[in-house]
Amino acid sequence: TFCEMVSIDSESYHEKKMKDYLVNIFKECQMECIEMPIEGFEAGNLYAVFKGNTNKEPIMFSGHMDTVSPGVGKHAIIHEDGRITSDGTTVLGADDVSALASYIEAIRTIKENNLPHGDIELAISVAEEPYDAGSAYYDFSRIKSRIGYTFDLAGEVGLAAIEAPSIISFKISVLGKSAHAGFNPEDGIHALKIASNAISRIPNGHVNNKTTVNFGTISGGEGRNIVPREVVITGEIRSFDHQDALKWSEHIKATFEEEAIKQQASIEYSDYVHIEAYKINEDEEVVTRFKDACGKLQLTPRLISTHGGSDNNRFVKEGIRGIVVACAMNDCHSVSEYTTIDELEKSTLLALYLMIE
C-alpha cells in the first residue's frame, strides 16, 4: 500500500490523484467520506469515518495528502536491508504517505478481524506543507472526537510531540527614493541602508528560550548605479508562547519604522499568523493512551517539543486535544528521505492499537 501510494504525484496544491485514490479506498472500507472543496485548490480536504461497532468514544487521526518538491515521478525502491527510498531524484513521500498507509492498513485489519472499536474519524488535508494552508479551510464541525493523533513526525516510532510553536510570517517593504549613485546620491533615500540598520538592531535565531526570529529573504534595487528606492524583506517568527511571537512581530515593525523615519522614508509591514502554539500535558488522556499503545509494542514512548508546525496546531485550537506522532519517515524534505519496512509495520500497529484501545 505504501509503495503504491508513493507512486502517486501529489505535490502541494496538486493532490487530486491522491484524493481520488483515498476516496476509493475509503469506499472499499465502507467508510463514509466527504470532500470539502476549496476555491482555487485542485482538491479539497477529506473527512472520513469508519463507524464503530461498540459505544466507545470516537477518536480522530489526521494526515496530509501533499508532498514537497521535487515530487513528480517518484517511486519507491525496496532495498535488501529493508530500507525504502526514492531513486534519488525526488523525495520519497513518506511525509505523509507513511501515515495514510498506516491508517488504511490498520482499518483494514480491524475490518477483516471484526475488532471492537468506536468511530474512527480521519481528517485528511491538502496543502499542509506550505504552512498548513489547506487545514485553514477544514470544517471542524464534522469532527466529534475529543482527542486525536496526527501521524506527521520524523524519527523512530515511539516518538511524539506534545508541544509545538506559533508560526508568524512577515513582510516588510522599505520605501525610499531613487537617485543616481554617482552624480547625486545625496538626493536619494537608501532603502537598503535603512533595512540593514533595522536588521542589525534585531536579534536573529534564538531570541529567548521560547522564540526564534529569522530574516529569510531580501530583494529590491534597480541597478548597481542607482540608490535603491525599495527593498522587500520576508521572514518568520516561531514561538512556544503565542503572545511572545506577537510581541516580536510588533518589535520588528517598530524598529523598521524608527529607522525609516530617521531618513524620511516609510515602510509597509504585514504579518500573518499561520498557526498558534499549544502544549498538551503528559497526564492527559491522549498522551496516556499513546503510552499504553507503545507498551503493547514494547516501545519506549518519548515525548518532545517540536519547532515544526502541523495540522495538529489547528485541531488543538478547535478544542481537539492531540499530539503529533512519529510514523516511519526520515530525512524528510530531501531526496535522501527514507523509511523501513520494520518501521512501517510498527507505525501501522501503533495506529491499530490506538484505534481499538
Q: Supply the residues annotated as catalytic.
A: 66, 128
Residue 194, H or E segment: helix 191-201
d(Cα 119, Cα 270) in Å, to the nearest integer?
42
8 A C-beta contact, residue 148 and residue 286:
yes
Instruction: Name beta bridge partners: 330.
Output: 338
CA angle 171, 172, 173 (to 5 degrees): 125
Cis before 96? omega within 30: yes
- Which 8-state DSSP code applies to residue 58? P
8 A C-beta contact, residue 343 and residue 157:
yes
Please give the grid coordinates belonging to residue 325: 506522532
One-character DSSP codes across 67-106:
BPSS-TT---EE-TTSEEE--SSS---HHHHHHHHHHHHH
| Sign for the pseudo-dihedral over CA of 299, 301, 307, 313 | positive
